[in-house]
Amino acid sequence: MVELAQNLIDGLGRGSIYALLALGVAVVFGVMHLLNFAHGELITVSGYAAFWAITNGWSWWLVVPLIIVVAVLTSLVIERLAFSRVRGASQFTLLLTSFGVHFVVSAIFLLYVSASVKNFARPAWTTQSTWALGPLQIETFDTVVIVVTILTLIGTNLLLQRTMFGLALRAAAADFDTARLMGVRSDTVIRGAFALSGLLAGIAGVFWLMRAGSTTPSAGIDPMLKGVLAALIGGLGSLRGAVLGGFALGLAEVLLRSWLPGSIAGLTEGFVFALIALLFIFRPQGFVSVAHAERV
Amino acid sequence: MLEVSGLTTRYGAIAALRSASLHVGSGEVVGLIGPNGAGKTTLLGSIAGLLSPDEGSVRFDGADITGAAPEKLLRSGLALVPEHRRIFVDLTVEENLRIGGITVKASERAELLDEMAETFPVLREKWATPAGYLSGGEAQQLAIARALMSRPRLLMMDEPSLGLAPVLVDLVFELIDRLRSQGRTLLVVEQNAHRMLEVADRAYVLRSGEVVTSGTGAELAARDDLFDTFVGGA
């Protein structure tokens, strides 16, 4: 019982990060119908920024905002340089473009920085600190991740529900052409979506990098896979679904790892993929199904 | 106010609209009638920036707006109630109206919301309801109210009575009449030609992508020959 509760908290912590990544993928998919396989590159680039800053003696308190700002800027730059040129193109073109961006970003770090792993010091509290809740030993790190994620989700919800920008984003996601007929500027809403997606990836990136303590040219693949998979599990295009998908993926990973016998625990990822495959056989649209207006 | 000349729009090799010309003066209600596939929706789409015309020009208050983006055209005072209404079904009635007023100042938007609640009592009753739950007639009123939220100087409507029960068709034409009496300028595409000619100051008849004739509502209504070829026009 204690072990289960412990695992659930661990899973929620992990799932929180995935939820933030998936939400960023879903926001961009909503307005552009782009499944962004370059989403993880935001973490690659901020990872190198974190490495550079920490090597130069910055404290983590400054590295945190740096990671977030770099993720937002990277997201906007990628939109401007790559995705703005393929707006309205077929989903296949968009998909290939995002793969292209992923490879180009990796290659830039490979060529101009180094192929080797760059390690940086993690804040002490992310590894050693725990606190007791009855019989449970809860990691401070998990607690912080879960609380920050919940606050971020509340903030995102307020942004989407209460502001004209949020309203424009939702309208554009539902029916882009009609939103433009109402005067919603496509540039504003698409760049805004990329900025929001970058912000969410930046917050997720802070935790991801605190946990990893390193970065490599291909460091973006793992967070990208988690974000894209969670968005798919949740139902592509649904923001709520993406968040649910993130938490489900985190919980599935942690629970499977603890339930599988030691000899095959190394295959956890494989089992998670098998579960996802099963889900798509029975519910190909994911948890939440979204009706998309036909585009003219 | 609106001056369309020689507008041609192609889908691939097929010209859905061939050298169409028309004009709408300030305060006029102009109808655009014709059978299915005559190019009426293509013409409105080409004016409103949803489609890029291949030839010809569109001028609005003297300025050349040919091929401009819809969000830009809306800001210059030209709004379109699209075919099939295209309301945002997951957004509430109020949110749909707010989106319609995204280009006006916040204080003005609040005034306009009050105005719409007053003009369209059915909408006020369903203010916080997702628009997907509205009936066809309610949804049409929402689509029109949403377009009015931008204070357009020219309002274009694409098939506002399409798919509505007869009693609601009456309501739509009453609404067009009411908007006319408020001095608004309207360009309305309608398959329901007889009803449209009753409320229109002037009308154009489109067939196979070409403007075949035009005249005042009364003149065209008297020409029985026009209606023989219409599908569902009688």
- Note whether residue B234 is domain-resident: no
pLDDT digits (tens, 9 = 90+) for A77-88: 999 999 999 998
Q: What are B175-195's pLDDT values in tens digits?
A: 999 999 999 999 999 988 888
- Mutation to test the B interface, candidates A181, A187, A238, A239, most B Cβ within 10 Å: A181
Question: Is A292 contained in some domain?
Answer: no
Per-residue DSSP letter, A295: P
In a domain, B158, yes or no: yes
The yes-or-no verdict on residue B18 having pLDDT over 50 is: yes
Instruction: Flag whether A131 is in a domain.
Output: no
Look at A91-105, A187-201, B32-46 and tell me which has the smallest mean pLDDT.
B32-46
CA-based angle A239:A39:A8, to the nearest 5?
60
Domain for residue A24, yes or no?
A: yes
Q: Which residue of B has its CA nearest to A169?
A: B99
- Answer yes or no: is A296 within a domain: no
Structure confidence by residue, pLDDT tens digits, A241-285: 999 999 999 999 999 988 888 888 788 888 888 889 889 888 888
Domain residues for A244? Answer: 2-114+138-282
d(CA B114, CA B193): 33
Q: A59, A121 in Cβ contact below 8 A?
A: no
What is d(CA A246, CA A23) in angstroms, rounded to the nearest whole number?
8
Query: Tokens 């609005």 label which residue?
Result: B60
Query: Does residue A184 lie within any of the structural domains?
Result: yes
Helix (H) or strand (E) holding B148: helix B136-148
Q: Which domain holds residue B59?
A: 2-228
CATH assignment of the domain containing A253: 1.10.3470.10
Residue A125 lies in a domain: no
* Rg of chain B taking only CA atoms, in angstroms: 17
How many domains are there within chain B?
Answer: 1
| Phi and psi, residue A274, nearest 5° | -60, -40
> What is the model's pLDDT at position B221?
84
Task: Give A287→chain B minimum CA distance, Å.
Answer: 18
Number of domains in chain A: 1
Collect all residues of chain B within an 8 Å Cβ-Cβ radius of residue A171.
88, 91, 95, 99
Is residue A76 in some structural domain? yes
ipTM of this predicted complex? 0.89
**In this structure, is residue A120 part of a structural domain?**
no
* pTM reported for the whole predicted model: 0.90
Looking at the domain assignment, is residue B134 inside a domain? Answer: yes
Residues of B at the A interface, defined by Cβ within 8 angstroms? 45, 48-50, 69-71, 74-75, 79-80, 82, 86, 88-91, 95, 98-100, 102-103, 146, 150
The pair phi, psi for residue A250, each rounded to 5°, is -60, -45
